[in-house]
Chains A and B, each alone.
Chain A
């Protein structure tokens, strides 16, 4: 007797809630000083990352308009050297759904705030593989691929081409060094190894004398199949191409590059996303834009399928087998339930075309070939996901 009216009551409530979900999502950015580079060609757009979230917001609003859901994005950007933590507390008081665009240290500090308990934070900027392992957090999901995913992708390509005689030139910036470490681990994972390695420590202006210096510098590496470059800040790699002693392909941070996203990606309907992005921003879509786009679209996809705005419900759904995001990469994207990493194919590109997309054919996995990229369940030391 009591049960029926109660149930009826619940149903009414649920359908009322379905009609008016109004979701606040925050984009919190800690600005960082870009390291100086020789070339002036690459301007870093001010809205890198944010623009991706905004395009995803418009898409989500359109879908939401048919369901009675609304989404708003609040952007807060903090100048270099200004504390992000106080701002994060304020943001967390307003919403539990955050996209965080900050270095790993700040990301962890935000996630570890008492105010962040039960929040759902999407990492869109920190590629450190450790964040997907020892340093993982229950409330952080990673929309950006780890460094390991990118270097695994490139290593699959090298293996497939049988370019197994490899040498490396690495820059001295911590980002270059981190990439070099990830690359070496990936080479080992796929049964490849380096036969030579040099550190790039020139302080001359290579724009003027690359043709004199680079042949000599690379002559010492002897012969090889491919030259790998670790230059994640984009400083010297561009001057190495076509100036090497041996006429061999260049890959890594320069030349053939395994990336989150590139303007050269046009298959699988990607041309539409690229076009929408370009129309909205008048520039091309960069990796961080893609990560922010995927993060916001993940939230919206979960809202649509669960008819809920509760971060706990959304997190559970996102980490479930049900979740899939159409990410314009040719197959559905989903999250690894052992460390919160968004599984995704990695395009291997040169500036004008997609060369291949990892996982490459022949690299098998019992769960999904996508898990041949980055930390697989047994490799990740992450415990926060109850795995």
Chain B
């Protein structure tokens, strides 16, 4: 907001795409991404993609957008300025989610139908490794130091720990049913994994891969079976975690130090994933069934706006 006051309005018009931060959302059943302007909270562009776009992530300098086009069996690389597909990366079959290694070069991709994690070099555009993991791999994470990559498999119910030097598994840890998402926390010393059907988030110590805590959720008026943790994100200080609870239509706010649930925020139907605004003052959640995005004011923990996007919004990523 402040920036706008400082910039002459003519310049503002001319440079608009670069000035406002954006939230990019994949619409799984529309084969598009919707681009939301963080300042106006409106959809400014809808851009066609390959079939069934799900995971999406930007390169470190935000000059490229990687999109898992699951049913096109490819990872598309888009120029976010023009919305044009620059080229496609080999991804293995049915890429669902991926994570970009801190080296800004290696993409670790979960191939949902193949029980494989594919590692692609985004510069040479070649597959450098394929790692056998459990059935229906989905959640992907990489440690801040880049040494460990994680794949969670939905039907095998495990987190698979990959040594990124050797591209081999060095541990497999059981979690509750249908793990969906993984993130490293506490400066890389913890691994968090959500289990959709189990209804829990498991926290592992990274050093020994041992379970450290298990977080359960209870939404008033919703049967526990329908409280299904999926995507989650840490606030920048890593002290608070926002957890999407799927068909319970709530996002939980968890204290990352005590592992206690502090709040539940009502959002749209079947909430999947989320992204923060650049200053972390707002959180944008994708709501699959209602086809919209809820904007949450992080400080007050209240929903402030609903933005209509395409059919079945799934992934979300921020572009400053």
Q: Which single member of B154, B158, B223 contacts A269 (CB below 8 Å)?
A: B154
Bound CA span A369–B172, Å: 35
Point out the residues of chain B lying under 8 angstroms from A325, CB to CB: 177
Interface residues on B, range: 20 to 34
Question: Are A63 and B247 also in contact (CB < 8 A) when A304-B174, A326-B177, A332-B197 are?
Answer: no
* Interchain nearest-CB distance for B230 vs A (Å): 11
Point out the residues of chain A lying under 8 angstroms from B168, CB to CB: none
Point out the residues of chain B lying under 8 angstroms from A63, CB to CB: 134-135, 155-158
- Interchain CB contact under 8 A, B113 and A275: yes
Q: Does A331 contact B (CB under 8 A)?
A: yes
Q: Does A387 contact B (CB under 8 A)?
A: no
- Interchain CB contact under 8 A, A66 and B172: yes
Point out the residues of chain B lying under 8 angstroms from A67, CB to CB: 172, 174
Interface residues of A, count at CB 8 A: 20
Q: Which single member of B134, B176, B197 contacts A66 (CB below 8 Å)?
A: B134
Q: Which single member of B134, B155, B177, B247 contacts A332 (CB below 8 Å)?
A: B177
Point out the residues of chain B lying under 8 angstroms from A305, CB to CB: 174
Q: Does B178 contact A (CB under 8 A)?
A: yes
- Interchain CB contact under 8 A, A62 and B157: no
Question: Are A272 and B113 also in contact (CB < 8 A) when A332-B198, A369-B223 are?
Answer: yes
Chain A 36-91 residues near chain B, CB threshold 8 A: 59, 62-63, 66-67
Bound CA span A325–B197, Å: 8
- Interchain CB contact under 8 A, A62 and B135: yes
Q: Does B225 contact A (CB under 8 A)?
A: yes
Point out the residues of chain A lying under 8 angstroms from B136, CB to CB: 269, 272
Q: Does B226 contact A (CB under 8 A)?
A: yes
- Interchain CB contact under 8 A, A330 and B135: no
Q: Which single member of A66, A272, A324 contacts B198 (CB below 8 Å)?
A: A324
Bound CA span A341–B172, Å: 32
Q: Does A282 contact B (CB under 8 A)?
A: no
Question: Are A330 and B247 also in contact (CB < 8 A) when A275-B113, A368-B223, A368-B225 are?
Answer: yes
- Interchain CB contact under 8 A, B198 and A62: no
Bound CA span A272–B153, Å: 13
Q: Which single member of B155, B156, B172, B225 contacts A331 (CB below 8 Å)?
A: B225
Point out the residues of chain A lying under 8 angstroms from B197, CB to CB: 324, 326, 331-332
**A interface vs B, CB < 8 Å?**
59, 62-63, 66-67, 269, 272, 275-276, 304-305, 324-326, 330-332, 368-370
10 CB contacts below 8 A, A to B, read A59-B155, A62-B115, A62-B156, A63-B134, A67-B172, A272-B113, A276-B135, A324-B176, A326-B154, A332-B225
Further 6 A-B residue pairs, CB within 8 A, beyond A59-B155, A269-B178: A59-B135, A62-B134, A66-B158, A269-B136, A325-B177, A330-B247
